[in-house]
Amino acid sequence: MGLTRYEQEVLINFNAEEQTASIYTANPIWLRKMDKLATAHPENFKQIAEEKLEGKIISKTYEFPKDLITIRSAKVKRNLTDEQRKAIADRMKHITS
């Protein structure tokens, strides 16, 4: 039995006083992402807890420096001309071949 999509949450928590933040995730995509970060950058990302259900890991909590948190502005939809689309497609063909 796995978690429902609604239960696959990601919570980021920090306060003004401490220099670290924590992230709790039960989302499989974020679990993989955070595991990769913890492996590649153990000096910054540390797993501090995990929860199991029926022997399977369903969530983990990590600690990391809060100055690594960023929020990006909304994506801007680009209005491309047919020429620009063709040029991008041609570049992609060269990359993938």
Which tens digits make up the pLDDT trace of 71-84? 987 777 788 899 99
Question: Is position 67 within any domain?
Answer: yes
- Residues 45 and 38: their CA atoms lie apart, in Å, by 5
- Looking at the structure of the chain, the number of domains it has is 1
Q: Which domain holds residue 68?
A: 10-96
At 16, give phi and psi (nearest 5°): -70, -25
Tokens of 9: 């949450």
- Under 8 Å between Cβ of 70 and 88: no
Which tens digits make up the pLDDT trace of 25-80? 999 999 999 999 999 999 999 999 999 999 999 999 999 999 999 998 777 778 88
The predicted pLDDT at position 83 comes to 92
Question: Is position 26 within any domain?
Answer: yes
Question: Is position 4 within any domain?
Answer: no
Q: Please tell me the pTM assigned to this model.
A: 0.72
